Structure 1
Amino acid sequence: MQQPEGFIVSEKEDYVCLLRKSLYGLKQSPRQWYKRFDSFMTSHDFKRSSLESCVYFKKSSDGSFVYLLLYFHDLLIAAKDKGEIRKVKAQLSEEFEMKDLGPTKKILGMEILRDRKTSKLYISQKGYIEKVLCRFNMQSAKPVSTPLAAHFRLSSALSPQSDDKIKYMSHVPYFSVVGSLMYAMVYSLPDLSYAVSAVSRYMANPGKEHWKAIQWILRYLRGTTDVYIQFARTKDGVIGYVDADFVGDLDRRRSLTGYVFTIRGCAISWKATLQTIVALSTTEAEYMAITEACKEAIWLKVLFSELNEDLQINIVFCDSQSAIFLTKDQMFHERTKHIDVWYYFVYDIIACGDIVVSKISTHENPADMMTNSLPITKFEHCLDLVGVHC
C-alpha cells in the first residue's frame, strides 16, 4: 500500500507499506472478511449452504433450526426459539464489533412488516422507490396502471444515429435509472421483470423512445409505492409458472423466457430473459422456457431440502400443451433434432419424477406478465396469483 498522506517517511518516499491486516476499502477486504466470518461460523457448528454461500444453519438440541443470512456486514438471524437467537448474537458479539438493531424492520432497502395475529409477513420497498422517484424528478408524475404499455415496440432502430442525438442522450441518466429499477425488481417487484428486461437491452445506445419507456415505468412506480409481497401460512408448496413470448426481441428475433415460483402462494423467485438461441416455433420457445424453469425448480428443491424443508415433487405449470408433450415424448425427435443437446436434460428430470409439468390456462398463468405487456385487468390478476398486493 502506498504511504498515506501525512505519514510519508522522509527520504523514503518511494517505499510502500506492508499490510499486516486487511483494511476497509481494499479490493481483497470483502474476501478477507468473508473468510474470517466463515471460519467463525463453522467453528460454532454452523453449516454453510452448498447452494448459497452466505446462508448458514444449525440444528438445535430440541430439533429446531437456527438460520443466519449474511450480506456483507448485515446479518439476519431466524429461529423458532428466541433464546437460540440471543445465544447466537452473544457469540457473534464476542468475536465481532456489532450493533443489535432488534427485530428486523428494514434491510437492503426492503421494509419488513409483521402481523403476528394473522401470521402474515409483508415485504415492501416503499422508501427506496420514493427515493428513486425523487432522484429522477418523477415524484409528481402522473401514475399509470401497468409497467410497460403495449404501444411501446422497442428496438435498436429507435436508437440515435446522428452525433447530435447521441450527445443529447448521453446527458440522460438512462444507466442510473435502469440500475435502480433492476435493484427494485430483483428484491421484491416481480411485476417489473418484463419492463426492465425490455429497456435494459438498449444500454449501449438508448434513444428517446427508450427513455419514454423508462419514464413510463417510473410513472407506474409512482402509483404503486405501496405494493408489497405477502407471506402467509398455507398448505401450498413450491409451484412454478412458466411462459414464453415467441420472437419477442425485434432485433435478433429471439424469444423471451419468463417464470415465477411461489411458495404458499407468494413469489420467491422470478426471471425474464431472452433465450440464447432463436426458436423456430412457439412450441420450441415454450419448450426451452420449460427447461429453464425446471433448472430453477431443481435448485429450489435442493436448497429447501438442505434447509430441512422437505418439498414434495415440484409442479411447473405451462400454458402450451404441445410443449408439454414435447418434454415427455421423444417421438418428436425429427422436429426437434436441431435444438441444443443441453435442453434435453428435461426428459430425464421429468421421467424420474423430480419435476411435474402440467397444463394451465393462459388466463391463470402469472408468468404471462413476465413476457408481455398486459391489459390492466389481466395484469392485476397475475399479481394476485403470486401474492403481490397494494
Structure 2
Amino acid sequence: MQQPEGFIVSEKEDYVCLLRKSLYGLKQSPRQWYKRFDSFMTSHDFKRSSLDSCVYFKKNSDGSFVYLLLYVDDMLIAAKDKGEVRKVKAQLSKRFETKDLGPAKKILGMEILRDRKASKLYLSQKGYIEKVLCRFNIQSAKPVSTTLAAHFRLSSALSPQSDDEIEYMSHVPYSSAVGSLMYAMVCSRPDLSYAVSAVSRYMANLDKEHWKAVQWILRYLRGTTDVCLQFGRTKDRVIGYVDADFARDLDRRRSLTGYVFTIGGCAISWKTTLQTTVALSTTEAEYMAITEACKEVIWLKGLFSELNEDLQISTVFCDSQSAIFLTKDQMFHERTKHIDVRYHFVRDIIARGDIVVSKISTHKNPIDMMTKSLPITKFEHCLDLVGVHC
C-alpha cells in the first residue's frame, strides 16, 4: 500500500492510511452496502431468498406478496397492490437516497414493454445491442440469418504462429466484443448461447478466424435487434429441454451440454457449456447433460416455492432414449461404472418422482440451436419453441 498522491507525509513514506469508512469504489464497498441494505430489509419484515440472495419477499396479512429484486443499487419492486409498492418506496426513501423512475421500462440495459390489452410482456435489449453494433462499427454491415455458420470450425490450432500475427491480434477488441455478446446472451438472447460459448474459449489465444466468427455473430445481431422474449399469462408448469453434442470441442473432445426451461412457451433459464469430463459415447454425453438440467430444475423448484408458487413435478424432455433409460436404471454394470458418481444423483431424483424425463422427437427439441450450427429453417423453428420473437 502507498499513500495517495498529494498526501505523502515526509519522513513517513512507509506509513499507510487507516480506513475509517468504506468508500465507493473500494473492494469492500459492495459487501458493506449489501450488509446495510440486507439489515434494512430484514428489519422491515422482508425475507431474503435462500436460493438467490438478491431476491426479497414479504407476505402480507391478506396473503398477498411484495417482491423486491436487487442488483447492486438498482431495484425492481412488484406487488398486486400499487399501494404496497408505494409503501416500500416510502420506507426506502427514508433510509436511503433514492430516485423513483416510476413503472419499470428499462433496467440494466433490458427494455420492458407491455401490451396490457393482450396481457403480454416483452423483454428486449434493442437499445443495448444497437450501442454494441456502433461500438464495433457493425451498424452498416450486411446481416446474416444464423448465429454461427457451419463453416466455422474453431480450435486452438488456429492460433497465430508468427510475431506479426500476434502483434496484429493484440490490437483486436476480441475480449470486449465477446463480453458484450455474453451480456446480451445472459439477459434475453438464448439464441446466442451456442455461438458465444464457442468464441469465448479463445480469449487468450485467438486468431483472425476467431475474430471473423465474432464479427459474424455481430452481423447476426445487426439483423435481429428487434428479437425479444414474449411472456403472457399462463398456468403452464415449467418445461425443460436438454441435449448434448458429442465431442463438439475439437481441442479436448469434450461434449457440449445445452438446456433451456420455459413457462408458457417462453424461456426463463438457459445454458450452453462444455462438459467437465470426456464422454465415451453419445449416451454418456446426453446422460451428463440431463444431470446438469435436473440440477437447474431443483434450483427453480426451490425458488418458485419460496415465491409462493408450487411447481409440482417438472418435465425435462430429451431426444435420447438410451440416456433416458440410463437415468431410470439403478443396476450397476460395466457400461456405467466409469461415469462420475456426481452424475448418478439424477437417478435418485427421478426415482422419488420429483422430475420426469421424457422422450421428445429431435425435430421438436429447441436445444439443437444451443449445441450446433443449424440451417435457417430449423434455427427459426427452435426460436419459436422457446418464445423468442421479433
Aligned counterpart, 2:19: 19
1:147 aligns with 2:147: yes
Deviation at 1:256, TM superposition (A): 0.3
CA distance in 1, matches of 2:250, 2:282: 15
Q: 1:161 to 1:66 in 2, by over 3 A?
A: same
- Residues 302-317 of structure 1 aligned to structure 2 (within 5 Å): 302-317=302-317
State the one-letter code of the partner of 2:36: R
CA distance in 1, matches of 2:260, 2:338: 28
TM-score (norm 1): 0.97
CA distance in 2, matches of 1:29, 1:326: 49
Aligned counterpart, 1:318: 318
Q: Could you list the per-position Cα deviations for residues 88-120 of structure 1 after superposition, in whole angstroms to 9, with x for gaps in the alignment?
A: 000000000000000111111100111111111
- Residues 1-390 of structure 1 aligned to structure 2 (within 5 Å): 15-331=15-331, 333-390=333-390
Deviation at 1:155, TM superposition (A): 1.1
CA distance in 1, matches of 2:139, 2:61: 52
CA distance in 1, matches of 2:206, 2:347: 41
CA distance in 1, matches of 2:161, 2:320: 40
Deviation at 1:19, TM superposition (A): 3.0
Deviation at 1:330, TM superposition (A): 2.9
Asked if 2 retains the 8 angstrom alpha-carbon contact of 1:326 and 1:332, the reply is: no
Q: Could you list the per-position Cα deviations for residues 186-242 of structure 1 after superposition, in whole angstroms to 9, with x for gaps in the alignment?
A: 011000000000011111211111111111000000000000000101231101000
Deviation at 1:334, TM superposition (A): 2.1
CA distance in 1, matches of 2:368, 2:183: 22
SS at match of 1:336: coil
State the one-letter code of the partner of 1:164: D
Q: Could you list the per-position Cα deviations for residues 241-290 of structure 1 after superposition, in whole angstroms to 9, with x for gaps in the alignment?
A: 00000010111011000000111211111000001111111111100000
SS at match of 2:297: helix
CA distance in 2, matches of 1:6, 1:167: 38
TM-score (norm 2): 0.97
Q: Could you list the per-position Cα deviations for residues 305-328 of structure 1 after superposition, in whole angstroms to 9, with x for gaps in the alignment?
A: 011111120100000011100100
Asked if 2 retains the 8 angstrom alpha-carbon contact of 1:166 and 1:205, the reply is: no
Q: 1:324 to 1:83 in 2, by over 3 A?
A: same
CA distance in 2, matches of 1:154, 1:16: 50
Deviation at 1:333, TM superposition (A): 2.6
Number of aligned residue pairs: give it: 390
CA distance in 2, matches of 1:163, 1:9: 46
CA distance in 2, matches of 1:271, 1:312: 23
CA distance in 2, matches of 1:60, 1:200: 45
CA distance in 2, matches of 1:380, 1:332: 42
CA distance in 2, matches of 1:25, 1:173: 25
CA distance in 2, matches of 1:79, 1:3: 49
CA distance in 2, matches of 1:90, 1:21: 27
SS at match of 1:67: strand
SS at match of 1:121: strand
CA distance in 2, matches of 1:333, 1:121: 50
CA distance in 1, matches of 2:103, 2:8: 46
SS at match of 1:148: coil
SS at match of 1:286: helix
Deviation at 1:340, TM superposition (A): 0.5
Deviation at 1:336, TM superposition (A): 1.0
SS at match of 1:57: strand
**5+ long unaligned stretches in structure 2:** none
**5+ long unaligned stretches in structure 1:** none
CA distance in 2, matches of 1:120, 1:101: 22
Q: 1:158 to 1:88 in 2, by over 3 A?
A: same
CA distance in 1, matches of 2:382, 2:236: 17
Q: 1:332 to 1:152 in 2, by over 3 A?
A: farther
Deviation at 1:2, TM superposition (A): 6.5
CA distance in 2, matches of 1:171, 1:354: 51
CA distance in 1, matches of 2:200, 2:3: 42
SS at match of 2:344: helix
CA distance in 2, matches of 1:92, 1:373: 48
State the one-letter code of the partner of 1:176: S
CA distance in 2, matches of 1:80, 1:327: 41
CA distance in 2, matches of 1:16, 1:278: 51
Q: Could you list the per-position Cα deviations for residues 326-374 of structure 1 after superposition, in whole angstroms to 9, with x for gaps in the alignment?
A: 1001346321111001111011000000110000011111111110111
SS at match of 1:333: coil
